[in-house]
Amino acid sequence: MTDNTILKVSGLAVSFPSARGTLRAVRGISYDLRSGETLGIVGESGSGKSVSSFALMGLLKPGAIVEGSGIFEGSDLLTMSRRDLETIRGRDIAMIFQDPLSSLDPCFTVSRHLVETLQAHRTITKQQAEKEAEDMLRSVGIRNASQVMRQYPFELSGGMRQRVMIAIALLCKPRLLIADEPTTALDVTVQDQILKLLKTLRDQSGTSMVFITHNFGIVARLCDRVIVMYGGRIMERAAMRQIFESPVHPYTRALLSAIPRMDDDKSIPLPTISGQPHDPHSDDEGCPFRERCPLAFEKCAVMPEEVFIEKDHSAACWLAGKEAGLE
Ligand SMILES: Nc1ncnc2c1ncn2[C@@H]1O[C@H](COP(=O)(O)OP(=O)(O)OP(=O)(O)O)[C@@H](O)[C@H]1O
Ligand code: SF4
Ligand SMILES: [Mg+2]
């Protein structure tokens, strides 16, 4: 682990036993997050993006089988006690989700959410917590903060609720923020405002970020590096520019070639590519993309190792760096 690595995920695998057999959502992923950087995780629905982050945060329901490690500032999130994890969660690592309503308690005012978050992690009077909470609402762009403090989640618009979630997430000045599609449910204008806000707050605080998204436009705007996931595995990883300028993996190439214009940074949703998505119940150990890959050949029945094309740029494909002009 280099000195500035804040999170090191190694061999993370998550499976869910079910009546249909074991569903293998994440099949051994490893990545490093450096302090202050934003790592994008992209991939189509069901590729294991959310489950991998939920597993690290201890947020999966009982029954999920989690293997591997997730070292955050020297401690393994996957083996530490529930109590230690709860202390870290919300204080050192915070998460924001696609649907803020599901993470806000409908019976609590905005004020109560914020004040309880502060009081759970710091010794602070209610009065001081209320002041800090209101200040935080203002810093996430809520002008009528004192009024919003008294409101319930259902009284707020989707964009406002997401601002409240961001305020809760940033209240204890976390060193790592995991954002799971935080703008997907919002209309394009509000989405744009929330992204600008996150970017500004991140730049001011130097918070490291994992940003899960379906949208390559967001990757281009926000991320330093990108991981492309498919079938619970990492297909390619690269610096933001490399992924757009010289994608190597056939899956990444298929995604990017289906996007009409890369210079439109407003909204570039993940395109659909032909063929059936990978079956998470499959116990096939070959390349998960091979049913849809135009370049598949016999060797692809075995999962390839990741090959480094250059520093910080690797792909898990038998052809990476070798044949068919994939270099
Ligand atoms: N609690 C659960 N129990 C059983 N299977 C689950 C559970 N949560 C997720 N899965 C399955 O795990 C796989 C990965 O799901 P995950 O939510 O990580 O996908 P994702 O990449 O985040 O997709 P999306 O872009 O749609 O959010 C999917 O097949 C999903 O159905
Ligand atoms: S390993 Fe084979 S099937 Fe998988 S992406 Fe590469 S060429 Fe295609
Ligand atoms: Mg998800």
Tens digits of residue pLDDT in 242-265? 999 999 999 999 888 766 555 554
Ion ligand 3 neighbours (CB, 5 A) are 50
**Could you tell me what percentage of the chain is helix, strand and coil, using 3-state DSSP and rounding each to the nearest 5?**
35, 25, 45
State residue 7's pLDDT score.
Answer: 98
State residue 52's pLDDT score.
Answer: 97
CA of 325 to the centre of ligand 1 (A): 34
Ligand 1 pocket: which of 16, 52, 66, 181 to mutate (most atoms within 8 A of CB): 16
287 lines ligand 2 (CB under 6 A): yes
State residue 269's pLDDT score.
Answer: 60
Quote the CA–CA distance of 141 and 130 in Å, as a whole number: 17
> Which residue has a Cα nearest atom 7 of ligand 2?
296
Residues of the chain with pLDDT under 50: 265-266, 323-325, 327
- Class of the 35-58+176-315 domain? alpha beta
Point out the ligand 2 atom lying closest to the alpha carbon of residue 300.
Answer: 2
Q: Model confidence over 289-313: pLDDT tens digits?
A: 999 999 999 999 999 999 999 989 9
> Under a CB-based contact definition with an 8 Å cutoff, are residues 214 and 184 in contact?
yes
State residue 266's pLDDT score.
Answer: 47
CATH 3.40.50.300 domain range(s) in the chain: 35-58+176-315
325: Cβ contacts below 8 Å, ≥ 6 apart: none
How many secondary structure helices (H) and strands (E) does the chain include? 11, 12
State residue 324's pLDDT score.
Answer: 45
CA of 288 to the centre of ligand 2 (A): 8
Strands laid side by side in the 75-76 sheet: 23-34, 5-16, 65-72, 75-76
Tokens 């939920």: give the residue: 54
Q: With 0-12 CB in 10 A as exposed, 13-18 as middle and 19+ as buried, what is 326?
A: buried
Q: Which amino acids bring their CB within 6 angstroms of ligand 1?
A: 16, 23, 25, 43, 45-51, 61, 214, 280
CA of 49 to the centre of ligand 2 (A): 21
CA of 51 to the centre of ligand 1 (A): 6
